[in-house]
Structure 1
Amino acid sequence: MSLPTSADRVRQVAVTLSEVFCVIGTLFGVGVLGTRVQESSGGALAADATLLAPAGPAFSIWSLIYLGLAAYTVWQWLPRNATGERFRRTGWLAAVSMVLNAGWLLVTQVGWIWVSVIVIIALLVSLGELVRRLTSRPASGTAERLIVDGTFGAYLGWVSVATCANITAALVASGVTPSRSISVLWSVVVLVVVAAVGVVLAWTFRGRVAVAAAMAWGLAWITVGRLTDQPRSAATALVAALVAVVIIAATIREKLRHRARLAR
């Protein structure tokens, strides 16, 4: 095992500082230091703000993601991981994702809803590249698979759904209020796009279960929200549920195909 270089140490410190910043941003987002996300930006990001807003319990997935990020921050300091190729290829992207996450929480505090859209798109792109790099080199064991691949897979899956909800919230907050039928049609079109994204992610990342599970989680809570809370829409709820099934099915299919190729 080679000794860590100065570049390795700088990366490890950067990840750790980014995690601290992420925690600070989270304290604002949950209302400890600032305003809860649901109540920030004039309520544009509340669970009942748009047809594509997931119901409140959906956001509990952040507890899992934040726990995973904390575990990743500790894990990357282990001697065998300091010089690991996967950590060298993904460490800076992990740091960027944590900074962007905190940044998103902070800009929503001041009501910059369209800036939050830019930030979350940047977060989505960084996570997509990070998971792509993880896919190119398999994990060294079960622990790494859970802490690294599981965390960032779930992170990417959730942010994929959240990005669509964020853009919709920004449009509504900006005064884009079409008729009821057009709003429902828009929600269905966006959900079809989410389905396409989910299928592409399944194909590109060889059927990563964490990505699909997080996307399905978000979509399931959109279904619940549209059936039990305002604005109600059975059509949006049905399509969200169907999209979740499509993404899970596509992911399982790609997972099995990848395993079959490895077994040859």
Structure 2
Amino acid sequence: MAAEREILLVTVLIFLFMYFALLKAFPRLLEQGFANIQEKLFLQGGVGMYLGWSSVAVLANIGVYAFSFGIQSSSQLGIYLQMLLVLLAALSAGYALYQTKRNAVVFATHWWAFVGILVGLFSREQTELLIAWTLVCVVGLNVFYFKKRLRFIKKLTIE
């Protein structure tokens, strides 16, 4: 068990490094521009997907690491810990969206990650509170993403 826990900790550290490295690199890619559509699809699509995924997955790995110490996911502490991790995942996703000027690829990947969380919750028993909390976080993330985008679109149509 100790060896598995060490491997989990290493994956958490790798995800943290990847998240912060991509968070720094991706906005620079967007500013620099792309030479052609293939470059845009590969770089914006691939790097944006990794950034979006890692901004949520790092919290999932932290959760797995924390639960490796014997916390029961159905206990009160386990439920509160999962709620905290989902909130932190939404905040991490929101920060990634902010840093990437609400990039659509990053946003779509967040949706994918949160759908994965919800599928996992629906497959377990007594997770209604966690499902509701996850949906609240997803709605908050959507409001954050679309609020600025809708203002921008409205501004374009007025001009």
What's the TM-score, normalizing by structure 2?
0.81
Looking at secondary structure, tell me which structure has more helix per residue.
2
Q: Could you tell me which residue of structure 1 aligns to residue 70 of structure 2?
A: 175
CA offsets per residue over residues 218-238 of structure 1, 9 Å max, x none?
1112112111x2364111122
Q: Could you tell me which residue of structure 1 aligns to residue 32 of structure 2?
A: 137
Q: Which amino acid aligns with 2:95?
A: V
Q: Could you tell me which residue of structure 1 aligns to residue 127 of structure 2?
A: 233
Distance 1:119 1:180, change over 3 A: same
- The alignment status of 1:243 with 2:137, answered yes or no, reads yes
Deviation at 1:256, TM superposition (A): 4.5
Q: Could you tell me which residue of structure 2 aligns to residue 162 of structure 1?
A: 57
CA offsets per residue over residues 39-60 of structure 1, 9 Å max, x none?
xx89xxxxxxxxxxxxxxxxxx
Secondary structure at the residue paired with 1:136? helix
Paired with 2:113 and 2:91, the residues of 1 have a C-alpha distance of 15
8 Å CA contact 1:226–1:236 kept in 2: the answer is: yes
Deviation at 1:198, TM superposition (A): 2.2
8 Å CA contact 1:154–1:210 kept in 2: the answer is: yes
Structure 2 stretches of 5 or more lacking a match? Answer: none
8 Å CA contact 2:97–2:107 kept in 1: the answer is: yes
8 Å CA contact 1:220–1:240 kept in 2: the answer is: no
CA offsets per residue over residues 150-191 of structure 1, 9 Å max, x none?
111111111111100101101111334477122112211221
**What count of residue pairs does the alignment treat as equivalent?**
157
Q: Which amino acid aligns with 2:75?
A: R
Secondary structure at the residue paired with 2:32? coil
Q: How is 1:247-258 mapped onto 2 (pairs within 5 angstroms)?
A: 247-257=141-151
Distance 1:141 1:248, change over 3 A: farther
8 Å CA contact 2:59–2:85 kept in 1: the answer is: yes
Q: Could you tell me which residue of structure 2 aligns to residue 24 of structure 1?
A: none
Work out which of the two has the higher radius of gyration on C-alpha atoms and give 1 or 2: 1
Residue 195 (structure 1) aligned to one of 75, 90, 96: 90
Q: Could you tell me which residue of structure 2 aligns to residue 99 of structure 1?
A: none
Structure 1 stretches of 5 or more lacking a match? Answer: 1-40, 43-106
Distance 1:111 1:199, change over 3 A: closer
Q: Could you tell me which residue of structure 1 aligns to residue 45 of structure 2?
A: 150
8 Å CA contact 1:117–1:166 kept in 2: the answer is: yes
Q: How is 1:53-132 mapped onto 2 (pairs within 5 angstroms)?
A: 112-132=7-27
Distance 1:144 1:258, change over 3 A: farther
8 Å CA contact 1:220–1:244 kept in 2: the answer is: no
Paired with 1:131 and 1:154, the residues of 2 have a C-alpha distance of 10
8 Å CA contact 1:208–1:255 kept in 2: the answer is: no
What's the TM-score, normalizing by structure 1?
0.51
Paired with 2:145 and 2:100, the residues of 1 have a C-alpha distance of 9
Paired-residue identity, % = 20
Paired with 2:23 and 2:81, the residues of 1 have a C-alpha distance of 25
Distance 1:256 1:151, change over 3 A: farther
Paired with 1:140 and 1:254, the residues of 2 have a C-alpha distance of 27
Paired with 1:246 and 1:141, the residues of 2 have a C-alpha distance of 34
Q: Could you tell me which residue of structure 1 aligns to residue 99 of structure 2?
A: 204
